[in-house]
Amino acid sequence: MYIYCMQNITARTTEGHGPAVGEHAPLRRPAPKWAALVDDRVIPMPRRVVSVQVIRDQAEIRREFAVVRKYQSRSDVVLKNDAEVDLGEGNVFRTVPAREEVSAGSCSEPAKLAYVVDDEWEVVVDPRQTGQTLRRLFELPPDVELLRDYESPHDEPIADDEAATFSDGPVFRTQRVLITIKVNKNEVKFKKRRVTGLEVKETAIKQGVKIELGFVLYRIKRDGGLGPAIGDSERVVLHECEEFRCVTPDDNS
Amino acid sequence: MTPSIQQAVEEIRSAYPGHSVDVEDDGAGGAFVKVHDLLIGDQYVPPVSWIAFRITFQYPLADVYGHYCVPNLARRDNVPLGQGFSQQVWRGEPATMMSRRSNHLNPALDTAAFKLAKVLDWMRSL
């Protein structure tokens, strides 16, 4: 038997486009997509802060059931129908018969957080995930990249060491990577975007480019400029049609 | 200047945008080239210098050998410059010479612009 606590959520201002939280992130970035997990079903949400009624409508919750926010402990929280909830503070819900007796609880435990990748979900309690931890959580293969899903066509790749903080948006998607660059004017294809200098050379050699691992790698900038040499252990982010040059090393004479 | 050297000069201008490049015919089909205001590294006094070199008429079959910068180049930590540096003369003026040889020269890849890039990387790495 669960113990529920009634959550007294203060009504929020709903003028204009609603509260600023998560609606439009700073620097005019598009708003991230939001979702709620209701009775183990992913329900797309229009924004971070929504009324319980929106959740009820979208999840088609019948009148005789109440919405409960799930916490790590068994002290789940029953939400009033006229309340607003910040999905950034927890987006996992279940329904219980409305007539069920409700007891007060402390609600001191963290709320459960559902990350969504390609419509699959996993529940965590730590909001400070990274690209790497999400990749492991969802067992993503190495030839796909993880992107945060925005309310725009310009979704944002998340690097392994990059923060994937829950409050910035819990909805992600993946896409297969196939990037073609040029090494010494030869096309070389990559199945991942972030590689080391050594991987650039190894992949080029495997694809028939006449270089050696001891050669020195340079990226040619868009304006034709040359940056410093790229070290073997240095990480580079590849972009379609980029040009690299790999030349023989020098010696003291 | 041969077409190959004209092409090399164009590639140098393109590879170092924002840097003025002096080019003078060497009278033998090659060119004297001087690229200005290159960052050679904060470990040096001065940290910024011109670098000059000669592209001979045999280019690209011949290495671009002998790169020169300001005379009396020194390290900020007072450690001697070490192997590969020497005080020489560049076109009648004192200069510091960097002796870096491309012993595995590939004429299709090792252009004058990349040779300069490698010399700069080497200096910065010391």
Comparing A28-42, A92-106, A236-250, B84-98, which segment has the lowest mean pLDDT?
A92-106
> Which of 79-118 (B) contact A at CB < 8 A?
83-84, 99-106, 109-110, 113-115, 117-118
CA distance B109 to B105: 8
Report the interhelical angle of B112-125 vs B3-15 (nearest 10°). 40
Chain B residue with minimum CA distance to A225:
B15
Confidence check on the interface: ipTM exceeds 0.90, yes or no? no
pLDDT at residue A167 above 90? Answer: yes
> Which of 211-250 (A) contact B at CB < 8 A?
216, 218, 223-226, 228-229, 245-250
CA distance A200 to A181: 10
CA distance A252 to B125: 14
Chain B residue with minimum CA distance to A246:
B109
A228: chain B residues, CB-CB within 8 Å: 117, 120-121, 124
Average pLDDT of chain A is 85
A247: chain B residues, CB-CB within 8 Å: 106, 109-110, 114, 118
Query: Does the predicted model carry a pTM greater than 0.80?
Result: no
pLDDT category at A27 given cuts 50, 70, 90 is low
pLDDT category at A73 given cuts 50, 70, 90 is confident
Per-residue pLDDT tens over the stretch B36-50: 999 999 999 999 999
Considering chain A, what percentage of its residues have pLDDT values greater than 90? 62
The answer to whether the Cβ–Cβ distance between B14 and A216 falls below 8 Å is: no
According to CATH, the topology of domain B3-125 is Ubiquitin Conjugating Enzyme (3.10.110)
Q: Kindly state whether A139 is in contact with chain B, defined as any CB-CB distance less than 8 angstroms.
A: no
Query: At residue A54, what is the residue type?
Result: V
Q: What domains lie within chain A, and their CATH numbers?
A: 5-124 (3.10.20), 179-247 (3.10.20)
Asked if B54 contacts B32 with a C-beta cutoff of 8 angstroms, the reply is: yes
Per-residue pLDDT tens over the stretch B69-113: 999 999 999 999 989 999 999 999 999 999 999 988 888 889 999
pLDDT at residue A25 above 70? Answer: no
